[in-house]
């Protein structure tokens, strides 16, 4: 049981390049999230998906797009990377309701934009 | 904007002592509260969840919730150097399934 799997773990991009961060979960969760974590800023929500086929903006969506490909997979795309997007990115999943609604995190992607 | 506040620390305690970590939240109707531990360079890992007022104990960890005062705390008894990490408080605001995180408190347990 892998939980939440993110790829890649590390990436260096040049300004203006594009890339997609992949995330998959095998816990049959309905909800999935993308966060970024910067020093002193905590975890900030970029986009989230309540269920397959729906996505919504979080606190810091500018410069990003997402796709909820199916119930398992939720990808994050940077169309034109900027140095301000240098960060650690975490994907997470959870149930929306019921007895156990805690979020489980992937291993993170450390992205540097130069 | 629903907020979750934590003292950034670092909180430094000697080995064997009790570490007390605090968190306050702004949304009065929040129902679900979580504590995550994050080691440097790693992802957040859930250590406690609490949903009702009072204390919840799990091994050396005790979560305390006071909805009237809008705070949740985490006590770590018999602190060990391996407990040195950043502790994130997360709250699910009323009417939302999305967790909001505090910025975390850095804990250092020195031998």
Contacts of A104 in chain B (CB under 8 A): 46
Nearest to B4 by CA among B103, B106, B98: B103
Q: How many other C-beta atoms can be found within 10 angstroms of the C-beta atom of residue A65?
A: 14
Token match 């929306």: residue?
A: A96
For residue B96, the model assigns a pLDDT of 79
> Which of the two residues, A51 and B23, has the higher pLDDT score?
B23
B59 to chain A, minimum CA–CA distance in Å?
19
Residue A31: which of B90, B97, B103 has the nearest Cβ?
A: B97
B52 Cβ under 8 Å from any chain A Cβ: no
Mean pLDDT of B51-61: 95
Mean pLDDT of A22-35: 95
DSSP per-residue letters across A46-74 = EEEESSTT--EE-S--TTEEEEE-SSSBE
Question: What angle (nearest 5°) sits at the alpha carbon of residue A3, between those of residues A55 and B55?
Answer: 90
Please tell me the total number of residues recorded for chain B in this structure.
Answer: 111
* Residue A86: pLDDT band with limits 50, 70, 90: very high
For residue A99, the model assigns a pLDDT of 58
Residue A42: which of B34, B98, B104 has the nearest Cβ?
A: B104
Task: Please report the number of interchain residue pairs, chain A to chain B, with beta-carbon separation below 8 angstroms.
Answer: 48
Mean pLDDT of B80-96: 92
Position B2 pLDDT exceeds 90: no
B101 Cβ under 8 Å from any chain A Cβ: yes
B23 to chain A, minimum CA–CA distance in Å?
14
Q: What is the DSSP letter of B81?
A: G
- Beta-strand runs (E) in chain B: 4-5, 11-14, 19-25, 32-38, 45-50, 54-58, 61-66, 71-76, 85-92, 100-101, 105-110
């Amino acid at each position: 049981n892998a939980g939440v799997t993110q790829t890649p773990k590390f990436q260096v991009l040049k300004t203006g390049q594009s890339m997609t961060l992949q995330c998959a979960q095998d816990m049959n969760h309905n909800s999935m999230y993308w966060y970024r974590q910067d020093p002193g800023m905590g975890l900030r929500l970029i986009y989230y998906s309540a269920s397959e086929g729906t996505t919504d903006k979080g606190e810091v969506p500018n410069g990003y797009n997402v796709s909820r490909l199916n119930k398992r997979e939720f990808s994050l795309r940077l169309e034109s990377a900027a140095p301000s997007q240098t960060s650690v990115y975490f994907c997470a999943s959870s149930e929306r309701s019921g007895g156990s609604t805690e979020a489980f995190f992937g291993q993170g992607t450390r992205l540097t934009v130069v | 904007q629903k907020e979750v506040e934590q003292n950034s620390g670092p909180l430094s305690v000697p080995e064997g002592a009790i570490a007390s970590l605090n968190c306050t939240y702004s949304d009065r109707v929040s129902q679900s509260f979580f504590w995550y531990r994050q080691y440097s360079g790693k992802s957040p890992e859930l250590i406690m969840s609490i949903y009702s007022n009072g204390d919840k104990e799990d091994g050396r960890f005790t979560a305390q919730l006071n909805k009237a005062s809008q705070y949740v705390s985490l006590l770590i008894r018999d602190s060990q150097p391996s407990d040195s990490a950043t502790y994130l408080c997360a709250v699910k605001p009323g009417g939302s399934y999305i967790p909001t995180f505090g910025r975390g408190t850095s804990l250092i347990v020195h031998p």
